[in-house]
């Protein structure tokens, strides 16, 4: 499986012309070779048809989003009506929070995971302030599931929304999403997940877990390209819930009457009803190329391969851990995805640069975390051997 899919990606070259060791799918996934064809088809239809392409393109643009619905649903464990490709991640989080955060004086808190990605913190603080509450009081961070359960037990009635990452961007820790959802619902809170580091990485069952909403980006494990279009999930039980406030726009209007240009908004059923603008077809085409690959490979098989690869990375590093670095990601494969986060003693930016000079691409996050993620679609055990060899030289503290 490994070799079959690797050949279907462009692997960046090092200065010597050989394949880089690319372990950065947690940041920007590689380009599937079919992306060019998928985009070229839309460029050609635009060239030949102009505006007529909306209805007469090989894949009519008005319905282009539907081409992605089934694959996206399979990928995140949802029904096709529960998912939509739109905007980008933080924008989608804002749209979701507008609907699922309706604070009152009694219930105004949002609980996030400790060290949540800064964009989430900015978005949530701005939403809290928008409602006239004080972010210093209303945004609460907890270390994980245990601490969340304790907080909910003690003060659950003050919590309006729980918004966790599926996998934390820095530690690589995967959270127990079904448990978080059950605990939050038991106290009457809505629950959403930022799946930036989980979508296309681990197996998700968003519908069965009963999650209210989720949002993710597609430029990481999903290989949609830089700044690619985001994904969003809204549980079926909210599909026609018109009591939820939302920020509306014409593309979220019921497609049956969208072009009647009526002044009153009637939302499309399901996640599509949260769309605001008409989607960028070129971006959707790039994403579709990758989603077709995911569908062909199957997320269950990819995850099995991923557990194997990351386990191999861990077992290659573990005997050397302790002095120059520690592995900061949980060792239980169920509590992590593809990424291992290595906390270094040497300055992490310098180590990253040395690795890059040797054709090895990973990245770092302040203050001291090197992030390394073998992506099962294109990474091999040989990539891991090359990384470990170079890393053990670069990471050694020379002071």
Ligand X SMILES: Cc1ncc(COP(=O)(O)O)c(C=O)c1O
Q: Which residues sit at the interface with ligand X, rule CB under 6 A?
A: 88-90, 117, 119-120, 165, 169, 194, 196-197, 217
Q: How far apart are CA 175 and CA 145, in angstroms?
A: 7
For every residue of 35-53, DSSP letters joined together read HHHHHHHHHHHHHHHGGGH
Closest approach of ligand X to the CB of residue 393, in Å: 29
Nearer to ligand X among residue 57 and residue 95 (C-beta): 95
Closest approach of ligand X to the CB of residue 85, in Å: 13
Torsion 218-219-223-224 (CA) sign: positive
Closest approach of ligand X to the CB of residue 56, in Å: 32
Confirm if 61 and 44 have CB atoms less than 8 A apart: no
In this structure, the dihedral spanned by the alpha carbons of residues 162, 205, 196 and 351, taken in order and rounded to 10 degrees, is 110
Closest approach of ligand X to the CB of residue 91, in Å: 7
Nearer to ligand X among residue 68 and residue 217 (C-beta): 217
Q: How far apart are CA 174 and CA 329, in angstroms?
A: 9
Nearer to ligand X among residue 120 and residue 383 (C-beta): 120
Confirm if 325 and 343 have CB atoms less than 8 A apart: yes
Closest approach of ligand X to the CB of residue 157, in Å: 28
Nearer to ligand X among residue 230 and residue 267 (C-beta): 230
Closest approach of ligand X to the CB of residue 192, in Å: 12
Nearer to ligand X among residue 90 and residue 181 (C-beta): 90
**What residues contact 243, with CB distance under 8 A and at least 6 apart?**
none
**What residues contact 295, with CB distance under 8 A and at least 6 apart?**
71, 74, 75
Nearer to ligand X among residue 61 and residue 233 (C-beta): 233
In this structure, the dihedral spanned by the alpha carbons of residues 294, 296, 300 and 303, taken in order and rounded to 10 degrees, is -50
Q: How far apart are CA 87 and CA 212, in angstroms?
A: 19
Nearer to ligand X among residue 221 and residue 391 (C-beta): 221
Closest approach of ligand X to the CB of residue 199, in Å: 11
Nearer to ligand X among residue 69 and residue 198 (C-beta): 198
Q: Are strands 340-344 and 360-361 parallel, antiparallel or unpaired?
A: unpaired
Nearer to ligand X among residue 169 and residue 274 (C-beta): 169
Query: Coil, strand or helix: which one is 63?
Result: helix
Closest approach of ligand X to the CB of residue 215, in Å: 9
Closest approach of ligand X to the CB of residue 13, in Å: 25
What is the chain's alpha carbon radius of gyration, rounded to the nearest angstrom? 22
Nearer to ligand X among residue 91 and residue 381 (C-beta): 91
Q: Judge if the upstream peptide bond of residue 111 is cis by omega within 30 degrees of 0.
A: no
What are the structure tokens assigned to 110, written together? 């949002």
**How deeply is 385 buried, as exposed, middle or buried, from its count of CB atoms within 10 A (0-12, 13-18, 19+)?**
middle
Closest approach of ligand X to the CB of residue 112, in Å: 11
**Which own/partner contact pairs does 92-96 have at CB distance under 8 Å and 24+ positions apart?**
92/215, 92/230, 92/231, 92/232, 93/119, 93/120, 93/123, 93/163, 93/192, 93/194, 93/215, 94/123, 94/127, 95/232, 95/246, 95/247, 95/274, 95/276, 96/192, 96/213, 96/215, 96/232, 96/234, 96/274
Closest approach of ligand X to the CB of residue 90, in Å: 3
Nearer to ligand X among residue 37 and residue 277 (C-beta): 277
Query: Coil, strand or helix: which one is 350?
Result: helix
């Amino acid at each position: 499986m490994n070799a079959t899919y690797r050949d279907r990606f462009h692997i960046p070259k090092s200065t010597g012309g050989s394949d880089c060791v690319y372990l950065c799918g947690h940041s920007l996934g590689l380009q599937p070779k079919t992306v060019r064809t998928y985009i070229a088809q839309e460029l050609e239809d635009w060239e030949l048809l102009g505006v007529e392409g909306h209805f007469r393109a090989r894949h009519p643009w008005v319905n282009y989003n539907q081409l992605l619905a089934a694959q996206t649903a399979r990928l995140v464990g949802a029904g096709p009506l529960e998912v939509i490709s739109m905007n980008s991640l933080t924008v989608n989080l804002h749209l979701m929070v507008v609907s699922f955060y309706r604070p009152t004086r009694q219930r105004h808190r949002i609980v996030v995971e400790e060290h949540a990605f800064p964009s989430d913190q900015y978005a949530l603080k701005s939403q809290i302030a928008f409602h006239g509450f004080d972010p210093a009081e209303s945004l609460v961070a907890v270390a994980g599931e245990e601490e969340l359960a304790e907080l909910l037990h003690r003060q659950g009635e003050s919590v309006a929304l729980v918004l966790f990452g599926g996998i934390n961007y820095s530690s690589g820790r995967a959270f127990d999403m079904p448990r978080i959802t059950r605990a939050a619902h038991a106290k009457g809170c809505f629950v959403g997940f930022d799946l930036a580091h989980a979508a296309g990485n681990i197996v998700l069952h968003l519908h069965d877990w009963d999650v209210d909403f989720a949002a993710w980006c597609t430029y990481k494990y999903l290989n949609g390209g830089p700044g690619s279009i985001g994904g969003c999930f809204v549980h079926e039980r909210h599909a026609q819930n018109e009591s939820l406030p939302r920020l509306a726009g014409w593309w979220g209007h019921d497609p049956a009457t969208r072009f009647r240009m009526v002044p009153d908004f009637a939302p499309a059923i399901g996640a599509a009803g949260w769309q605001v603008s008409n989607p960028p077809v070129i971006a959707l085409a790039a994403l579709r190329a990758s989603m077709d690959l995911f569908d062909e490979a199957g997320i269950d098989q990819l995850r099995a391969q991923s557990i194997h690869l990351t386990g191999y990375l861990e077992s290659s590093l573990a005997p050397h851990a302790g002095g120059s670095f520690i592995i900061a990601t949980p060792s239980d494969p169920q509590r992590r995805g593809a990424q291992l986060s290595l906390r270094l003693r040497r300055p992490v930016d310098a180590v990253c640069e040395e690795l890059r000079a040797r054709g090895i691409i990973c990245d770092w996050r302040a203050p001291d975390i090197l992030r390394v993620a073998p992506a099962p679609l294109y990474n091999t055990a040989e990539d891991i051997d090359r990384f470990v060899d170079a890393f053990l030289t670069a990471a050694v503290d020379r002071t």
